[in-house]
Amino acid sequence: MKYYSEKLNKVFDTTEELVAEEEKVEATRLAKEKELNEYKEARAAKAKEVEDAYAAAAEATKTYRKVLQEFNAEYGAFHMSINTKNLFDALWSLL
């Protein structure tokens, strides 16, 4: 007698083979699902870290501009030399 698995669309000689194969496929599916969930959780955590860093940078920029305005109001102007290694960051912060 042959045994047909509707889950796998396969025919098996014994019920033990059928059950073992279905369990193996189910275990594989669960492992992939678990791995995907872990990936999504890790990605969400890292995205939150990026958002927090962005918020901190925005707050630091806000504080920098306030302090610079206070300095300019009191002393007239502010001059600073910029290291060329950080030129891009310095220009970006001015935007």
40 burial level (CB within 10 Å; 0-12, 13-18, 19+): exposed
Q: Are 2 and 12 in contact (CB under 8 A)?
A: yes
**pLDDT greater than 90 at residue 81:** no
Report which DSSP code applies to 81.
-
Residue 3: partners with Cβ closer than 8 Å, 6 or more residues away: 11, 12, 13, 14, 15, 17, 18
pTM for the structure as a whole = 0.61
Convert the pLDDT of each residue in 31-69 to its tens digit. 999 999 999 999 999 999 999 999 998 999 899 999 999
